[in-house]
Amino acid sequence: MHVERDDGVMRITFDRPDVRNALTKAHALELAEAIADAAPEEDDAIVLAGEGDVFCAGGDVGDMQGGESREDPQAAYEEVTETFGRIVEAMLECPVPIVAKVHGDAVGAGLAIVALSDIAYAAANARFSCAFVRVGLIPDTGGTFVLPKLIGLRAAKKLAFTGEFVDAERAADLDLVNEAVAPEELDDRVEETVERLVARPTTTIGLMKRAMHENLDRHWAEALDYENLLQVQALTSDAHEEGVSAFLEGREPAFEEY
């Protein structure tokens, strides 16, 4: 994959089109480290994309052959945790909003990466499959955690148990992606959203993301208390001061530094 930074946007592109942008364990760790490197002081948004005709075909099946996983379960556990597991940690804890631009199929871990993204748009001809069952695996890269929360338990079970493909319209209906758009409109739709994110205070978005993720399974009273704690951080921030000043002065806020 290659990583570029331009005008506050980190663009991470899967770049193995010859193998449908499949991820080896080394690539998974590289992706996790790139996302973990994002910081609101430098980055306002992350865009995930793929070269060629496919967004990401998931884990590289060839990379799964051999090794000591059958003989040493503890080593296998550590290997999964420190590669594809690191992607989940990095994406959920990233203080910068992550946008997935899904121009082609997202399969296995590729589907999970889309689900973990904060915002996702898909070309209408893209397809999605939770394909782990086809190689005798359960969903990883957070699949068993994020999919039931995002699309519902029954829909998640059907995708996981069958490994079937669903089209982009169905993915949008399930809330796996925000919207399915014509392929020729995908770039513009993503860039419109990225421009809006760049114009917003990134530190505030990071607090929103943190609150939403932390509060997913909390009782409402505990969730409200945590929300209020983070709101205090927002209320005492420079971004809030700039937003209020801009409102009172009848101008657009300058959130570039926040």
The CA R_g of the chain, rounded to the nearest whole Å, is 19
Q: Are residues 55 and 26 in the same domain?
A: yes
Q: What is the dihedral sign for C-alpha 215, 216, 219, 220?
A: positive
List the CATH number of the domain containing 239: 1.10.12
Which pLDDT does position 66 carry in this prediction?
56
β-partners of residue 56 are: 106
Which pLDDT does position 65 carry in this prediction?
63
79 compared with 55, residue with greater pLDDT: 55
In degrees and rounded to multiples of 5, residue 2 shows phi and psi of -130, 150
Residue type, 202: T
Last residue of a domain, one of 198, 215, 239: 198
Q: Rounded to 10 degrees, what is the CA torsion of 36, 40, 43, 44?
A: 120
Which pLDDT does position 69 carry in this prediction?
61
Tens digits of residue pLDDT in 170-182: 999 999 999 999 9
Closest CA to 174 of 139, 129, 135: 129
Which pLDDT does position 76 carry in this prediction?
86
Query: Does residue 195 have a pLDDT over 60?
Result: yes
Q: Are residues 186 and 213 in the same domain?
A: no
Q: Are residues 192 and 219 in the same domain?
A: no
Which pLDDT does position 256 carry in this prediction?
81
Residue 67 backbone class (left: φ over 0; alpha: ψ -120 to 50; beta: rest): left
Domain span including residue 194 = 2-198
In degrees and rounded to multiples of 5, residue 60 shows phi and psi of -75, 110
Q: In whole numbers, what is the pLDDT of the chain averaged over residues? A: 95
Q: Are residues 129 and 211 in the same domain?
A: no
Tens digits of residue pLDDT in 110-161: 999 999 999 999 999 999 999 999 999 999 999 999 999 999 999 999 999 9
Which pLDDT does position 63 carry in this prediction?
79
Distance CA(7)–CA(29), nearest Å, equals: 25
User: Is residue 31 one of the residues assigned to a domain?
Assistant: yes
Tens digits of residue pLDDT in 58-116: 999 887 765 556 678 888 899 899 999 999 999 999 999 999 999 999 999 999 999 99
Q: Are residues 98 and 174 in the same domain?
A: yes
Q: Are residues 243 and 165 in the same domain?
A: no
Which pLDDT does position 68 carry in this prediction?
55
Q: Are residues 97 and 185 in the same domain?
A: yes
Share of the chain above pLDDT 70, in %: 98
Q: Are residues 167 and 224 in the same domain?
A: no
User: Is residue 256 one of the residues assigned to a domain?
Assistant: no
> Cβ atoms within 10 A of the Cβ of 188, count?
11
**Average confidence (pLDDT) over 47-52:** 97
Q: Are residues 189 and 241 in the same domain?
A: no
